[in-house]
Structure 1
Amino acid sequence: MGLKLLHLHLHGLIRSHDLELGRDSDTGGQTLYVLELVKELAASLEVDQVDLVTRLIQDRRLASDYSRPRERIAPSANIIRIPFGPKRYLRKELLWPYLDQLVDQLIDQLKQAKTLPDWIHAHYADAGYVGALVSSRLGIPFVFTGHSLGREKKRRLLESGMDHLQIENTYSISRRIGAEELALANANLVVTSTFQEANEQYSRYKNFVSKQAKTIPPGVDLRRFNTISKPNEFEEVQDLFAPFLRKPNLPPLLAISRAVRRKNIPALIEAFGRSPLLRQKHNLVLILGTRTDMKLLDKQQKDVFQQIFELVDKYQLYGQVAYPKFHRRDQIAPIYRWASKLEGLFVNPALTEPFGLTLLEAAACGLPMAATDDGGPKDILSSCRNGLLFDATDLDVLQNTLELAGSNKKLWQQWSSRGIDGIKKYYSWNSHVSKYLSLMKNQFNLSSTQSLAQVIPLSGIRAS
């Protein structure tokens, strides 16, 4: 009998098709990673069933897809949507009071099933809280991936000038850190994307045990992200940017991210705007999710876009910066290939980047990178040797790195080739799933199905 797996990813804006990446601060790369992981696991001959539990949402502002109780992803994989809290969509920081409702419902459903999952894999702090409680009650092995950790976020926000009260009111950071401590206290295994994440970020948690942590780099879908262009795809990309760019054939500095503070996009515009060399040699292209109606964006997104508009005005970047309101997910790979054809660069200026799936996608399409030196890009660059790193908190360093990275055509060609080869060697989904299943089976064959620590009530954890 094959494996039966349960994944938890709770905010609700996840479906089997047309992911709305960048719609808000909760729909980033981790959403794509979880969906792709579930699909690839379901395709494995070792796996009989994979279920992905998320929140059921009934909201007129959103597609009806998110209100379907069950959605098939693949022949042996489904999204299971369970209602908890209000019917409408809520950002993750507002879900904390309702998570115990999900715990109770999920335990009831699992008790009624013929067999329990071989393990529960929880993604992000809220799912970690739920997974820890369900695992403890039912004796199911528990795996935790934080993706973006609260202590690291708090550290960076304090460095950026926000005070403790602002951070608490905006991000419910104490509850988030407390949930992460709970998850770590109960996890049989902690899966990280990078060694830096385990050694520098998780190590700040009092309930983290280093032997719990195993690093498995994410995979990239090489069927989509590659150097093989389709007929007319470059013309379609050019049409997307034509309303913005005066000289569309200049090598682009391309950034793709959500419009949130951590991604540090205004700093990239500042570095570009104050550099005569960058403005002469490059365009700046920003893919920041969708903003069909600014009134529907959350406050953080509005603030980031307002900064962007003000900086474009400040440096009079009209005709040099593109920031389209909308793009389709199937346009992302052609955008990477278009940027590579023009010998551009992919830029990730985030204050911290837990991993950076877009860096893998870009490299697979032959596009070198210039990226933050905080987090996953270090691991990627050590494997692929396809660009430069910089301190994203230092505008001068960011500007100088971009000027240097775009100045040597021979080096660009080397970076491009190395990136393509490195992705195929180190970051394929086949390799990721093989490592993932091997690790899990070995871990749970060698250890008891009980947690490594007793459940600690969330109310009893101090999140300092």
Structure 2
Amino acid sequence: MADHQGLYILMLSIHGRICGTPELGIDADTGGQVGYVLDEMQALARDPRVSRIDLLTRRFDDSDTNPIYGAPRELLESGARIIRLPAGPAHKYLQKERLWDYLDTFVDGALHFIRSEDCIPDVIHSHYADAGYVGVRLSRLLGIPLMHTGHSLGRDKRERLIAAGRKAESIDRQFHFPRRIAAEESVLSEASVVLASTRQEVDEQYGLYENAVRAHFKILPPGVDLRRFSRPGRQRSSPLLPGLRHFLEAPRKPPILAIARPDERKNFQRLIEAYATDPVLREQANLVLVMGQRDRLGQLPHGAKRVIQSILHTVDDYDLYGRVALPKHHEPEDIPEYYRYSAIYKGVFVNPALTEPFGLTLLEAAASGLPVVATRHGGPQDIIRYCRNGILVDPLNIGEMQDALRQMLFDRQRWQRASRAGLLGVRRVYSWEAHARRYLAEVERILRRQRKQLRRESAARQGVRRALPTADHLLISDIDNTLIGDPAGLATLMEWLREHPRVAFGVATGRNLKQTMEILAAHQVPRPDICITDVGTRIIYGSKLREDQDWAAHLHYRWWRDGVLQALARVPGLRLQEKFTQGAFKVSYYVDPKRPPTAKDLQQRLRERQIAAHVVLSHNCFLDVLPIRASKGHAIRFLAFRWGLPLHAVLTAGDSGNDADMMGGEICGVIVGNHSPELHGLKDKHHIYFASAHHAWGILEGIQHYRFPGQAHA
């Protein structure tokens, strides 16, 4: 890969609609996170230490959305780039909860992009749990440090929704919390640093996670664009008044302003009930709810439609016509004007969310001279502590919310003090330039630590190999019950390989190298070009059996073999396999099928000892514990990346659970007809073909199904 001057930062923010001029509020997934990521990357791009910054997001060409989202690349004014990669239906925009099944494809697309650019990033920075899932896998495959920003956390949000009366089964089904929380736990285990906006986020929100004790946190609050958000100055009127007169009888009354997407978690329903049931607020103030964009209510996503319908019902039930404004549209430049409008008429900004990871809108209000009332759950605690410009409330307590609104609206001296304190605090503590300086100091710390580690390992490392330079396709097969088991099928497959010399042949197995060579020789299989042995923990090349030392060095990350043995020494149902089956990066056990331990219990035991490892169960009787970066699938992707092979030029074949991660994404996966039941869950997955034929005949059937190797050029 080519060298580059300065830092190259690769960001990941997958969901939502992301472009240089963001349509913030257009849907539930295009809100504060999108604005944060764009502001952060552009502030970093302006720092002279950064030579390049790219943001990878999802590409889609939906006729109902702006055509820009179908453009593969977009150059921003700062020099940063948005790179859009396909994942999932090309002509359909998907909400983030529906993206989980396509994230492995996004990983493969990211690998294609990095390889095509001929430039390795210095760090990867993922935003939110879905990007964290992708970032962990890219970090494992490439050995690049991972930074992560959560934005909002699954465990905390789940608890808040349950407290608000939602049923656990319903929200888990709607929001995929089990998958999201698992991804967040994985990020905490593997990221070099987790960036949090507040101490409360670290202590109370991340504190709900098992792996939080192993994570390195850095508190780094975001900034606010002081060029856009500013106090009204000498203004005595607002350009928004004509539009607000459509809703408000007296638009110059002090407004109670809220700006957020229509999401149940934003808690607008309790806000409007607080307003509706307080005669003083109803008489002396207006309520202005800016809830994104909408043309027709019926065209909104179900959740957003439900929130707005509930608000409209409350307006009607309490006869709030003329007192509540619900604008349907706004331009990006209107948002600063809403804050200034509220400041001109001595209003208050309110954020009543069930929980708020940070609260950028509170900074925007402070920069506009507008006092705030905000949820006490999350980032607003720190903002109010630094800016001293408002009151924190329990978002579930309507009476507390009403008291805070009355205090801030009708005590003129308190309003003036809060307005001045907010203006001073936001300039003193929060700006994107200061954020970028602290961010890059953390990046440099990570890279210094990485360079020290590389120097310690340099004696064992080799240069990057360009193995098998004539091969443009790769066939990798498991051995037992896949490659072998039917002599006639095996002979036919070997003949096929001889007829296709540009297809490199490899095996991936749980066996060690000696066992692998013995069983291949016993079945008269020619020595493969590649052997991935010991459940993906060793990569061996060619006839001279040379080991890839870069892969071995890659696996050292947070691996503690003796700790694994200690943690699992007395687990009922586990018995250590013979010495010759063990490896430097593999601890293998027999499993008693009458009392098998659960993977969750074993993973918990390892976490308690702060061991970064994962467990693989095969045939319900064998268990392997491996480094967190090790697996057959990761080894295959590592090889493909180093050789410059696109993943759709790789075909893998297997029959059992420890073959599962060789499948999926852009790799052509074949599961032979005699497979174990543990693989049934992969049916209907992208690029996984279930053959009806057994053993090597099943591999040949998969070759025919994919038209391999021809399909790689299709």
Q: TM-score range by the shorter chain?
A: over 0.9
Distance 1:113 1:455 in 2: 27
Structure 1 residue 129 displacement after superposition: 0.2
Distance 1:345 1:399 in 2: 12
User: Of 422, 435, 455, which residue of structure 1 is paired with 2:628?
Assistant: 455
3-state DSSP class of the match of 1:74?
Answer: coil
Distance 1:275 1:339 in 2: 20
TM-score of the superposition, structure 1-length normalised? 0.95
Structure 1 residue 192 displacement after superposition: 0.5
Which residue in 2 is equivalent to 1:318? 321
Q: Does 1:89 align with 2:93?
A: yes
Which residue in 1 is equivalent to 2:356? 353
User: Of 173, 180, 185, which residue of structure 1 is paired with 2:184?
Assistant: 180
Q: Does 1:119 align with 2:292?
A: no
Which residue in 2 is equivalent to 1:397? 400
Q: Does 1:269 align with 2:272?
A: yes
Structure 1 segment 12-411 matched on structure 2, within 5 A: 12-17=16-21, 19-74=22-77, 76-87=79-90, 88-209=92-213, 212-228=216-232, 234-411=237-414
Structure 1 residue 239 displacement after superposition: 1.5
Is this contact kept in 1: 2:238–2:341, CA < 8 A? no
Q: Which has the higher contact order (CA 8 A, sep 6+)?
A: 1
Is this contact kept in 1: 2:232–2:343, CA < 8 A? no
Which residue in 1 is equivalent to 2:562? none
Identity across aligned pairs (percent)? 44
The change in CA–CA distance for 1:250 and 1:75 in structure 2 (over 3 A counts) is closer
3-state DSSP class of the match of 2:210?
Answer: coil
Structure 1 residue 296 displacement after superposition: 2.1
| Superposed structure 1 runs of 4+ greater than 6 Å apart | 456-460
Amino acid in structure 1 at the alignment position of 2:324 = V
3-state DSSP class of the match of 2:35?
Answer: helix
Is this contact kept in 1: 2:25–2:292, CA < 8 A? yes
Structure 1 residue 210 displacement after superposition: 5.8
Is this contact kept in 2: 1:122–1:144, CA < 8 A? yes
Distance 1:122 1:166 in 2: 28
Distance 2:362 2:145 in 1: 32
Bigger drift between 106-115 and 421-430 goes to: 106-115
Structure 1 residue 362 displacement after superposition: 0.6
The change in CA–CA distance for 1:225 and 1:353 in structure 2 (over 3 A counts) is same
The change in CA–CA distance for 1:398 and 1:48 in structure 2 (over 3 A counts) is same
Structure 1 residue 352 displacement after superposition: 0.4
3-state DSSP class of the match of 1:209?
Answer: helix
Amino acid in structure 2 at the alignment position of 1:185 = S
Is this contact kept in 2: 1:185–1:455, CA < 8 A? no
User: Of 440, 444, 448, which residue of structure 2 is paired with 1:441?
Assistant: 444
Distance 1:75 1:285 in 2: 34
Amino acid in structure 2 at the alignment position of 1:186 = E
Structure 1 residue 114 displacement after superposition: 2.8
Structure 1 residue 301 displacement after superposition: 0.4
Number of residue pairs matched by the alignment: 458
Distance 1:407 1:228 in 2: 20
Structure 1 residue 309 displacement after superposition: 0.4
Bigger drift between 220-229 and 298-307 goes to: 220-229
Runs of 5+ consecutive residues of structure 1 not aligned to the other structure: none
Distance 1:33 1:111 in 2: 28
The change in CA–CA distance for 1:75 and 1:270 in structure 2 (over 3 A counts) is closer
Deviation string, structure 1 residues 410-463 (Cα, Å, up to 9, x no partner): 111010000000000000111111111112212331344875545379999xxx
Which structure would you say has the larger Rg?
Answer: 2
Which residue in 1 is equivalent to 2:468? none
Is this contact kept in 1: 2:269–2:310, CA < 8 A? yes
Amino acid in structure 2 at the alignment position of 1:280 = E
Is this contact kept in 1: 2:86–2:109, CA < 8 A? no
Deviation string, structure 1 residues 313-352 (Cα, Å, up to 9, x no partner): 1111110000111111111111111110111000011110
Distance 1:102 1:362 in 2: 37
Amino acid in structure 2 at the alignment position of 1:130 = V
Structure 1 residue 235 displacement after superposition: 4.1
Distance 2:129 2:116 in 1: 26
Distance 2:372 2:95 in 1: 31
Amino acid in structure 1 at the alignment position of 2:298 = K
Q: Superposition RMSD on alpha carbons, in Å?
A: 1.9
The change in CA–CA distance for 1:443 and 1:135 in structure 2 (over 3 A counts) is same
Distance 1:72 1:230 in 2: 37
Distance 1:64 1:231 in 2: 38
